[in-house]
Structure 1
């Protein structure tokens, strides 16, 4: 890398990156293999999409409660924090959910204007019960969403978030997750991203402005 990748639409994607990342990390069974690039020195933890927001993909999934859910149907009176991850991830996914929960606690009443949705990148193992129970451990208001894995991969890529369908390699079951949290305006268009590793305190310093800007 010779320059910070601040435009999500320029992030690398494809099987080559997935394989190299997994091998370099020495991934074990069910180990995380995030394919997004980490924050470079001095890069802001919130990255606004330059120009027009990134259009919501046309996919309909299902919540853990069995209700239909779509990106384009993102609630009209809230912004949505969207994450692509899976419940057996040992580190990044639970840390990200905990940071979001902390951020919402910090912003008080404005948290009522924020939806949080995690789309499973391991929908075969993340059953409705597993995904719902896992998310409620962070916040009872967090929503889990499941859909055909190929559609999940395509939807993530539409937002510039490269993930791969689960695969078995050398006896290991490999699952990827996104590294960034997408911020969606009503209607599902992405207006920006919180970078991987952004703390709850950092998110809470930015969320009120985003709420005022997009609602």
Structure 2
């Protein structure tokens, strides 16, 4: 029950929840909490099989209800009646669904640390929540200089997570981000070299390119006229 009047100073409400952490649903816990003015007063937990009070009023009533076998019997039955019934429905329609993540890698400037470079592997739009992210260096898993955020909710059932790798670049090495998720038959392995190639083509700020498309009945051709800054001549081997 609750008070809905605008000038009402007190609020009482109850919250029921079913918690479980495995797909076989063997660890379901039914929890019923009673609140007064945002403070939890008393709770019933199916794992404990009894009430626990958190205020003077709650402790008093927990003792009284725990001594009543008919009350305890009724509340203990809620795990099957309330949780099992509803979870079975949700499990079939929601919890068995999965969505594959999208993965991107970018380079950022490290704020400190012992290495001059840092990569961020960002994983977006995956469901369910649990996911494993790791870094590979020349196909070997990296165990140091790695930090990751927790899985963050997007608010639309999807999640995102970000993993950071601090490193010192070496010539010819291959760095990859590996993502494992229940929605994937095989892990997603994304190479940083792929993004290097893309950045080289798309983000060379030293060029101003003007492209002209010339049409000829017998031939299609593109002529690319580049206005090249002096520092770019060595890069392109232009004299």
**Range into which the TM-score falls when normalised by the shorter chain:** under 0.3
Higher helix share: 1
Higher strand share: 2
TM-score (norm 1): 0.23
Q: Point out the structure with max Rg over C-alpha.
A: 2
